[in-house]
Amino acid sequence: MDITRNGAQASTPTAAANFVGRARMQPVFAVGSPVRVRGGKVTFEPGARTNWHTHPKGQTIVITDGSGLVQRWGGPLEAVNPGDVVFFHPGEKHWHGAAPTVSMTHIAVVEHDERGVSADWLEPVTDEQYAGK
Protein backbone atom coordinates (compact mmCIF):
# COMPACT_ATOMS: atom_id res chain seq x y z
CA MET A 1 0.00 0.00 0.00
CA ASP A 2 1.21 3.47 -0.86
CA ILE A 3 -0.28 6.70 0.41
CA THR A 4 0.60 9.86 -1.49
CA ARG A 5 -0.03 12.85 0.73
CA ASN A 6 -1.86 15.93 -0.47
CA GLY A 7 0.68 18.45 -1.74
CA ALA A 8 3.45 15.91 -2.25
CA GLN A 9 3.49 16.37 -6.02
CA ALA A 10 3.93 19.80 -7.61
CA SER A 11 1.62 21.08 -10.31
CA THR A 12 3.20 22.14 -13.58
CA PRO A 13 2.01 24.15 -16.59
CA THR A 14 0.62 21.95 -19.34
CA ALA A 15 2.58 21.76 -22.61
CA ALA A 16 1.87 24.98 -24.49
CA ALA A 17 2.08 23.16 -27.83
CA ASN A 18 -0.97 21.04 -26.94
CA PHE A 19 -3.24 23.67 -25.37
CA VAL A 20 -4.86 27.00 -26.20
CA GLY A 21 -4.56 29.28 -23.17
CA ARG A 22 -3.19 28.36 -19.79
CA ALA A 23 -3.71 25.22 -17.75
CA ARG A 24 -1.88 23.40 -14.96
CA MET A 25 -1.61 19.69 -14.27
CA GLN A 26 -1.28 18.13 -10.83
CA PRO A 27 -0.39 14.44 -10.83
CA VAL A 28 -2.89 12.40 -8.81
CA PHE A 29 -1.61 8.87 -9.29
CA ALA A 30 0.83 7.11 -11.60
CA VAL A 31 1.53 3.61 -10.40
CA GLY A 32 3.75 2.33 -13.22
CA SER A 33 4.37 -1.13 -14.60
CA PRO A 34 2.39 -3.34 -14.82
CA VAL A 35 -0.41 -0.86 -14.07
CA ARG A 36 -0.97 1.40 -17.05
CA VAL A 37 -3.62 3.74 -15.68
CA ARG A 38 -2.77 7.14 -14.25
CA GLY A 39 -4.65 10.20 -13.17
CA GLY A 40 -4.03 13.91 -13.27
CA LYS A 41 -5.96 16.92 -12.04
CA VAL A 42 -6.03 19.64 -14.68
CA THR A 43 -7.21 23.20 -14.08
CA PHE A 44 -7.97 25.33 -17.14
CA GLU A 45 -8.16 29.12 -16.93
CA PRO A 46 -11.30 30.67 -18.47
CA GLY A 47 -11.23 30.14 -22.24
CA ALA A 48 -8.37 27.63 -22.08
CA ARG A 49 -8.77 24.24 -23.73
CA THR A 50 -6.82 21.30 -25.06
CA ASN A 51 -6.00 20.95 -28.72
CA TRP A 52 -8.00 18.36 -30.59
CA HIS A 53 -6.58 14.96 -29.67
CA THR A 54 -7.26 11.25 -29.28
CA HIS A 55 -6.44 8.66 -26.62
CA PRO A 56 -5.48 5.16 -27.81
CA LYS A 57 -7.14 3.56 -24.76
CA GLY A 58 -9.81 6.23 -24.19
CA GLN A 59 -10.04 8.68 -21.32
CA THR A 60 -12.39 9.37 -18.42
CA ILE A 61 -12.66 12.88 -17.00
CA VAL A 62 -14.46 13.73 -13.77
CA ILE A 63 -15.38 17.41 -13.52
CA THR A 64 -14.61 18.60 -9.98
CA ASP A 65 -14.81 22.39 -10.08
CA GLY A 66 -15.98 25.30 -12.18
CA SER A 67 -17.67 25.02 -15.53
CA GLY A 68 -16.37 23.53 -18.75
CA LEU A 69 -16.97 22.54 -22.33
CA VAL A 70 -16.27 19.28 -24.16
CA GLN A 71 -16.78 18.28 -27.79
CA ARG A 72 -16.19 15.25 -29.94
CA TRP A 73 -15.36 15.69 -33.61
CA GLY A 74 -18.61 16.25 -35.51
CA GLY A 75 -20.64 16.61 -32.30
CA PRO A 76 -22.18 19.58 -30.48
CA LEU A 77 -20.51 21.65 -27.78
CA GLU A 78 -21.48 20.15 -24.42
CA ALA A 79 -21.42 22.09 -21.14
CA VAL A 80 -20.07 20.10 -18.19
CA ASN A 81 -20.20 20.85 -14.48
CA PRO A 82 -18.89 19.36 -11.22
CA GLY A 83 -19.95 15.75 -10.79
CA ASP A 84 -20.28 15.13 -14.52
CA VAL A 85 -18.20 12.25 -15.88
CA VAL A 86 -17.21 12.06 -19.55
CA PHE A 87 -15.73 9.04 -21.31
CA PHE A 88 -13.96 9.64 -24.60
CA HIS A 89 -13.78 6.43 -26.59
CA PRO A 90 -10.45 5.05 -27.83
CA GLY A 91 -9.42 6.99 -30.93
CA GLU A 92 -12.31 9.46 -30.64
CA LYS A 93 -11.13 12.95 -31.66
CA HIS A 94 -12.18 15.51 -29.02
CA TRP A 95 -11.20 18.41 -26.81
CA HIS A 96 -12.00 19.59 -23.27
CA GLY A 97 -11.60 22.93 -21.55
CA ALA A 98 -12.99 25.72 -19.43
CA ALA A 99 -16.04 27.83 -20.14
CA PRO A 100 -15.31 31.31 -21.56
CA THR A 101 -15.51 33.18 -18.25
CA VAL A 102 -15.10 30.44 -15.61
CA SER A 103 -12.21 28.11 -14.85
CA MET A 104 -12.70 24.35 -14.88
CA THR A 105 -10.95 21.52 -13.06
CA HIS A 106 -11.21 17.85 -13.94
CA ILE A 107 -9.47 14.67 -12.92
CA ALA A 108 -8.39 12.87 -16.06
CA VAL A 109 -7.78 9.12 -16.03
CA VAL A 110 -5.94 7.52 -18.93
CA GLU A 111 -4.15 4.30 -19.74
CA HIS A 112 -1.07 4.22 -21.92
CA ASP A 113 -0.70 1.84 -24.81
CA GLU A 114 2.06 -0.54 -25.88
CA ARG A 115 4.06 2.47 -27.13
CA GLY A 116 3.82 4.15 -23.72
CA VAL A 117 1.54 6.79 -25.27
CA SER A 118 -1.70 7.97 -23.67
CA ALA A 119 -2.60 10.83 -26.05
CA ASP A 120 -1.99 11.72 -29.68
CA TRP A 121 -2.12 15.49 -30.16
CA LEU A 122 -3.65 17.26 -33.14
CA GLU A 123 -4.49 20.83 -34.21
CA PRO A 124 -5.64 23.64 -31.89
CA VAL A 125 -9.33 24.29 -31.27
CA THR A 126 -9.99 27.55 -33.10
CA ASP A 127 -11.90 30.44 -31.55
CA GLU A 128 -14.73 29.70 -34.00
CA GLN A 129 -14.90 26.05 -32.97
CA TYR A 130 -14.72 27.04 -29.29
CA ALA A 131 -17.66 29.41 -29.85
CA GLY A 132 -19.64 26.61 -31.48
CA LYS A 133 -19.63 28.22 -34.93
Q: How far is the CB of 102 from Mn ion (least distance, A)?
A: 20
Kindly state the number of chain residues that form the binding site for Mn ion, as judged by CB under 5 A: 1
Q: Which neighbouring-strand residues pair with 71?
A: 95
Least distance from Mn ion to the Cβ atom of residue 61, Å? 7
Please give the DSSP secondary-structure letter assigned to residue 4: P
Return the residues of window 9-28 that contact Mn ion according to CB under 5 A.
none
CB-nearer residue toward Mn ion: 1 or 109? 109
Q: Judged by CB, which is closer to Mn ion: 73, or 126?
A: 73
Nearer to Mn ion, 14 or 59 (CB): 59
Q: How far is the CB of 119 from Mn ion (least distance, A)?
A: 6
* Whether the Cβ atoms of residue 48 and residue 100 lie closer than 8 Å to each other: no
Q: Is 70 helix (H, G, I), strand (E, B) or coil?
A: strand
Q: Of 73, 74, 49, 71, give the one whose Cα is nearest residue 124.
A: 49
Distance between CA 18 and CA 61 in Å, rounded?
17
118 binding Mn ion? (CB under 5 A)? no
The nearer residue to Mn ion, 4 or 87, going by C-beta atoms, is: 87
Smallest separation, CB 101 to Mn ion (Å): 22
CB atoms within 10 A of CB 4: 11
Query: Under rule CB under 5 A, which residues in 40-69 are in contact with Mn ion?
Result: 59
Residues 6+ apart with CB under 8 A from 115: 56
The contact set with Mn ion (CB under 5 A) reads 59
